[in-house]
Amino acid sequence: MAQDHEYEVRVRWGETADELNDALDLADDYRAKMHAAYRSRDNILRQFDKLYRYHRETENGCACGKTKCETLAVINADWISDLIARVHERDVN
């Protein structure tokens, strides 16, 4: 009777440990995916940042020479500039 109980406790404990390990593996997997997503987001923002070198607002339209530049219209969105500024801040720190 007591042995049965002990056996059952050991089985349950083993199952709990397995579940915990599965959960930890899953967490590692998510963390890795999240880091990969951050890296690709950073890479995209760095590409955008390069575009800023050729496409900037000047008194006579865009620095690339066009008065109505489609590229500038895309990269000049505030949320993109904010994200790029944040990447720069992080690079400095």
Residues 11-50 as x/- pattern, contact with Zn ion by CB under 5 A: ----------------------------------------
CB of 90 to Zn ion, least distance (A): 27
Q: Count of CB atoms within 10 A of residue 38's CB?
A: 10
Name which of 42 and 52 has its Cβ closer to Zn ion. Answer: 52
Name which of 64 and 87 has its Cβ closer to Zn ion. Answer: 64
CB of 65 to Zn ion, least distance (A): 7
Find the binding residues for Zn ion in span 49-78 (CB under 5 A).
55, 62, 64, 69, 71-72
What letters, b where the CB count within 10 A reaches 16 and e where it falls short, cover 50-72?
A: ebbeebeeeeeebeeeeeebeeb
Cβ atoms of 51 and 81 within 8 Å: the answer is: no
CA–CA distance, 49 with 59 (Å, rounded to integer): 21
Residues forming contacts to Zn ion in the complex (CB under 5 A) are 55, 62, 64, 69, 71-72
